[in-house]
Amino acid sequence: MFVTEKKEETLLLVGGNTTNGSEILSYLSKDYRVLSAKTGKEAYELLRLNEIDAILFDEDIGDISGESFFKEARVRYPDITRIFMSESRDDQKVMEIFKAGAVYQIIPKPCPPWHLRLLVNRALESRELARRHRFLSRELKFSDNAFRSSKDHMVKLLRESYEFDKLVFASDAMLNVCNLARKAAPTDLPVLIQGETGTGKELIAKAIHGFGSRKAFPFLVQNCGALPDELLQSELFGHKRGAFTGAVSDRLGLFSAADGGTVFLDEISEVSPAFQVSLLRFLQEGEIKPLGADKVGYADVRILVASNHPIKERVEAGTFRKDLYYRLHGFEINIPPLRERVEDIPVLAEYLSRNYAETLNRKIAGISGQVIRHMQAYSFPGNVRELETEIRRMVALTSNGEFVSIEHLSSEIAQALPVDDRIKEQSYINEAGTLKEKVERLEALIVTQCLTRHRWNQSKAAKELGLSRVGLANKIKRYQLIAVGKS
């Protein structure tokens, strides 16, 4: 394998044993980072570990035919531009490859290197135009100047990512969440933000405040889970001197301090019935009664609340007041767990690692695709916060200028096998277990293979399997199937 110095776009030259092979390599290296593989095996390994923009396949490679190589590359890496250099003068054979592999160009050999350089330039230009077209169509759909393409100041993996305030994402699920937050922002309604720990509830709350009319006023946060009732009441509403043991002086509460701004109440599901009553009164009348005071005061504060548990369940269980619940969910925003939006993992990993590397004053070359695939197979119970900690550790372990790679992964995540790899192992079905478990594994395998065949087009896969779309979605969820290598 041979790697030239790092440039913007990466070419994979497969074969290249022709007479002018080294000339081609040095020509292309002027514009691109060029990886070169002498065998098909080497080529697959490089594809797996790198983000490649174009493949140049030189026909005379020993261990694999151009046709089968492109067939596989087309399915697994549909985004890569494929160019085939052929010696063949047999029209039919060349056309077969063209159809089967959907190559962008077939170039007769020998080809002068300057011509090849022009062709590769053109091919990547047209790929970039197609990419921008896709991106703009999507932008148009969600036309909103809060979102902007991050391409200009972010790298490779962030190709189609969005930012909303401090949130970075690529999934439609998060796009919907942020669109809703954006709509909620200019209103003065309370917002109930729900999601597992570490999903970004506080970031969303800050963004709502930042995009609303109160942004020049304070945004104050109170965690309601950790405090005994009296202390929580006093934190928020304030107290008079002597109101309780330890109240040695008057204290202004958070609501008064945030007058004109926003108060974010975290872990709202944990508050006591007495506190629920006070909060309801505040929401209805803006009334503040400090502990031990006989006069009420007023504050103009917008309330945003968050919960790790669905509040509705607490309402049904009778531990959370229904009237308060209805007051609080002017808007309800539910942030899905990270494992249900694995498309966000590459962009988050890239963003978090760049950020952290910067604070360490270190340069990393990127994150290997293999690391991302393992991360996408892992369940992340701690969501983005857990990903953040993992990335920080990995960046700290990576030497300057190197890729964050598989050996830096924590063993827990390294053990999460990407579905693709797992199902390749014959023994997978026969692992110990009851008949039911084995049948389920077989079912997961069949569904995965069908989905892979249809490049995760769920309508087509459901049709082939004789399932409804909902039925298929349930199986994907149940077996936690993940689209590996999906474009």
What are the strands, taking DSSP E only, across 120-276? 162-164, 167-169, 191-194, 219-223, 238-239, 251-252, 262-266
Side chain identity, residue 90: D
Instruction: Report the candidate in 84, 91, 93, 19 with the shortest Cα–Cα distance to residue 54.
Output: 84
Residue with tokens 């007051």: 327
Does 160 contact ligand ATP by CB under 6 A?
A: no
Site string (96-135) toward Mg ion, x via CB under 5 A: ----------------------------------------
Nearest distance from residue 150's CB to ligand ATP, in Å?
11
Does 197 contact ligand ATP by CB under 6 A?
A: yes
Sole binder of Mg ion in the list 202, 259, 332, 421 (CB under 5 A) = 202
Does 73 contact ligand ATP by CB under 6 A?
A: no
Sole binder of ligand ATP in the list 200, 212, 238, 366 (CB under 6 A) = 200
195-203, 278-286, 364-372, 434-442 -> range binding ligand ATP (CB under 6 A): 195-203
Does 385 contact Mg ion by CB under 5 A?
A: no
Instruction: Report the candidate in 160, 159, 163, 132 with the shortest Cα–Cα distance to residue 146.
Output: 163
What CA–CA distance (Å, rounded) separates 395 from 400?
9
Nearest-CB residue to Mg ion? 202
Q: Under rule CB under 6 A, how many of the chain's residues touch ligand ATP?
A: 17
Residue with tokens 């994907």: 476
Name the residue nearer to ligand ATP (CB basis): 178 or 483.
178
Name the residue nearer to Mg ion (CB basis): 9 or 266.
266
The dihedral through the CA atoms of 179, 183, 188, 189 has a sign that is: negative
Sole binder of ligand ATP in the list 18, 20, 22, 308 (CB under 6 A) = 308
- 183, 192 contact by CB (below 8 A): no
70-78, 194-202, 316-324, 431-439 -> range binding ligand ATP (CB under 6 A): 194-202
What CA–CA distance (Å, rounded) separates 33 from 54?
11
Cis peptide before 218 (omega within 30 of 0): no
Does 388 contact ligand ATP by CB under 6 A?
A: yes
- How many other β-carbons are positioned within 10 Å of the β-carbon of residue 344? 24
The contact set with Mg ion (CB under 5 A) reads: 202, 266
Q: Contact residues for ligand ATP (CB under 6 A)?
A: 167-169, 195, 197-203, 266, 308, 348, 384-385, 388
